[in-house]
Chains A and B, each alone.
Chain A
Amino acid sequence: MIPSLNEVSALARKACTGVGYSWGLSEDASRATATAWAYGFDSITALAELLQAKESGKISGDCPLHLGAHLCDSQPKTPIVFETLTSPELLLFIAADLPKITGKSYRITLKSAVFYATPKDLYQAEDQPNTDVFTLRPAAPKGQRLHPAPRRVASEAAWTTLTRFASRTYAPATESSRQSGAGAGLTDAD
């Protein structure tokens, strides 16, 4: 399966809703997953792992969707550090929304990788390695600007997992729904 970004975005939104995230958080997660995938990160696997963890009750205070949303909402002026996280890649791309809100640039570290997010672009730099899982602080951008990656094959297992969660948002097919739900009952062979 080589998905389009539209398909990544749509599946991510439905899968998040399917495991019980709110509609609004699912929207943010969907955008973050698609953006990360566009930049070459395997956010499909990251999201599948997160949703599986949530499903099995292993997510509590370290959910990247909740933390990322609050981080963007609260627009912190002092450095942020998170030490444990499930699927931290997703937090990177949710946090990448923050420059679009504030108009400022930020330095974001993810394990040993260092990124700079501006309102328009994302940069990766060879800064000093960091041992915290995730840090964020205002900073001027530097490093190499990241470019969209070519389309590529998604992990079949991760895609199947997301598809399974997404299918929970579909109402079961019934004859009455088929008849009344979409305006049928008319002849189309005319």
Chain B
Amino acid sequence: MPGQRFIEKYLSFRLSIAAMSFADSFHEICSVCETPISSGLTAGLCPRCLLGAAMADATDGELAETMNSGSVGPSGAGSLLDCFESTSDHGNQQTLFGDYVLIEEIARGGMGVVYRARHQKLGREVAMKVILSGQFASENDVRRFEMEAEAAAALDHPGIVPIYEIGQHQGHHFFTMKLIEGGSLAMRISELRKNLRTFVAVVAQVAEAIDYAHRRGILHRDIKPANILLDGDGHPLVTDLGLAKRTEAESDLTGTGAIVGTPAYMPPEQASASKEITTSADVYAIGAVLYEGLTGHPPHQGESPIATLMLAAKGEVQPPSSFNRQADRVLELVCMKCLSREPNERYASPGLLADDLRRWLAGESVSVRPKSLVSIFGEMVSDQLRSALGAMLIGVVGGLLTALPIYSNIAANLFGEPGAPFNLTELRESLPNFAVVDHWWLHPPAWLGNQGFLVGVSLSLLLGLAIEKIVRPRETRQAIAVGLVAGLLMTIVQFGMYGIAASWQTHKLTSSHRINAMARASLLAEQQRQQAVEYLFTEFPDLRALEPNDRAELLGKAVSTQMMLASPSSFLGTLGICLAFSIIYCVAGTIYANRLAMAKIWWLPMLVRYLEVMVMMSGAMVTLVFILLFKFGMVANEEGAIPVPLQLFVILAIWIAATMPGWRMMRWYTRWPIYVVCTLTALSLAGSVARGLE
């Protein structure tokens, strides 16, 4: 049973950590290789020596003696050279490797060690790159190593270090290349940048060499000063095609997703492994070398490689003049064009960059123009504009979706439908001279008020998701901001329509029957008039006690006052309802959609999760709307407005609680039972409230 094993292992793991943590905090230094030994770990043995012991041939039982004989010295030259020594027949002072004598180690890279070596017969000194851990290399290491050599050997250009030989010796893969004696640009950059013209000429030559490589279908992908060697005359030669990739044949060894290269000189698309790396990544890196010449440091500099990588991924580069006031403005333009965040805004090829650098050297004008104010403004605005337009669009659409059906329903009920209490057509038939315009918007189509409501509410469930898709907020703060703007616009649009309808509704509920009675009391024939008057007396019993002269005036005042005082609460209630709609659908919806988008879930489960939460939120919203309706006296029976039933608050709390499993990103088997329990509880409570009202 895997489960059982898992638990056992987990327990033993906890115990081992616990035991470790109480170990004495004293730690020693290995007497052989001076490596610090962690106390409490590896039984107090030196980790380096432990590994060294395992590196020697496993069939040889006397490896410990080999280790002891000092082959692992403090020089740290590593195991490879030692390995040759032990296998070499001429074991004296010289280390032989095939036809070559290894003279010294000059560099060490990710997968290879570079030696200065001399060909025994030709007498020529070369740089020899040997794959680390030679015969033990995995198939992939070998393939990558061979590709590297193959890529470099295919190139013949004065700006690229030539490859002499590719081979294998006793299972160790290697290649030899021209030995460049002048050191790398990394060592000499501070000296070279003092003479800007010389430096620019070097960069131009590098750009030409890389342009040549690109035309042969090879990307460098790790251009940096350390990979630009200088010969005795100061001519640059590009080397370390360790990361070079044939642009034509896609290799499966280093696909997108793996971050390779040097962060300080890396374009954002390479640092974030977001896009396919193209030739423009090399243009960026050459620009980064130029940048270092102008400022004295590479474009991205963090406290650690990781921090640098993060900076590179962001791709924001300060212009050289912000560090060096004397930086040449034209070169700055050229440099910043290379360092554009968008690959297609950089030079289309290193050749074009070289052309511009040559023009600068010749004192001619370059192809880059300073950015116009308009384009700077445009860039600044475009991002915000996208957010603003998206929010506006969604807000207006959301407002129409939710408010139009409600408005249509009320307008039809009051004015439009035949037999409606204020049907304008019937009114004008009876009173032909009645001065009222029968507007088209008083007769919305019937489907808008009926099916339209369901469609509108269903679609408005998706508002948050729509904002996420259209605006694509980069972080939660932006999602909240966009959601708020959309919500505000939605409220305004809703309030425009629903506010009008609600004021009609309020008037009808609070005052129309009294005005009706007053009209009948004044205009009907005697007996019916008396009935109307009696009705008014029951409505306002205090009238009986007054003088008949005062009655009419006070009644008019009382009814008008009631009408006027009903308006504010009706408006506030309506506004509250509109806000509830907007907050749930726009603000909460956007934030949740953004949260889901960041979790990078497949679209279908994402949609399901989103809809679940929005349905639960809708439950909360409907409850909130009812609470507001009660609160602002918009629910009334014959005895007048009804106070808010307290169960509604409980129902609201249940709906809000039901959104939590989704918000906390729980699994479906946790979420769904909670939804069922919450929904059933809320509905049964709502049922009891409804029965209570009847």
Say whether A associates with B: no
User: B residues within 8 Å of A by Cβ?
Assistant: none
Interface residues, chain A, with chain B CB atoms under 8 Å away? none
